[in-house]
Amino acid sequence: MESVKDLILRMADDALIIGHRNSEWTGIGPMLEEDISFSSMAQDKIGHAQALYNILHEQFNMEVPDFIAFRRNASDFKSCQFVELPIGDYAFTLVRHYLFDHAESFRYNYLSNSTFLPLKSLATKFKGEIKYHTLHADIWMKSLTLNGNEESKLRIQSAVDELLPYAMGMFELGNYESDLIDNGIFVGELALQNKWHSFITESLNSFNIKVPVIKEGEIKLGGRRGYHLTELENLINEMTEVIRTDYTTEW
């Protein structure tokens, strides 16, 4: 079913790209504990991507995960622009981590009831890992706002203001929304967006962070349809530098 393939590819591409973005903190984290944490979560995300690509390979006869991940052009990716942005400072990465992982948590909770059994099984498996990710994000958001100083709070507020229009792009509607909903595969992006936005509004308010009002025209869309930031192509070139030296080698 094209609807399921499209959904899984969007999820997998998001996980792969944000996994690589978060891995860029390895060796330069603000403290050793965070260096390890972001490295571990990045590894989880790339593992999620591999498992999702493997469903595409086994259920829909697509190429093997390594091929899907490393041998496509940027325009073939369905990742949202939100995950493609460079890491910025730690506040920027933390806020993206917080916004993305809470969306993922709700997404996988919904998918744990999916009628598409391979995805349901995977969602049930991943929920535990993502719970750790959201717990990590919440602890640090609280630490840098309620328990931080004026500068840390201002940095978090600035990152929220900058990132929220991109974060809303996570829920860009696909071409098969009605098919996914009607067949019980997924509740749809609009239901997920409403659930997520209600949560982060209440959560950010509890951190004394203002939630900006984002107008429809300000939402950063296009990634799901192959319109990406120039940074994505640069990242893909970096990701595939080794494998491009010899595609026939088993690395």
User: How much of the chain is in helix, strand and coil states, percent to nearest 5?
Assistant: 70, 0, 30
All structural domains of the chain, each given as residue ranges with its CATH number in brackets, are 2-245 (1.20.1260.10)
Query: What's the pTM?
Result: 0.95
Separation between Cα atoms, residue 227 and residue 229, nearest integer Å:
7
Separation between Cα atoms, residue 4 and residue 17, nearest integer Å:
20
Ranges in the chain, pLDDT < 50: none
Predicted local distance difference test score (pLDDT) of residue 248:
66
Given a contact cutoff of 8 angstroms between Cβ atoms, the answer to whether 105 and 130 are in contact is: yes
Predicted local distance difference test score (pLDDT) of residue 28:
73
Summarised one tens digit per residue, pLDDT across range 88-97 is 999 999 999 9
Predicted local distance difference test score (pLDDT) of residue 33:
73
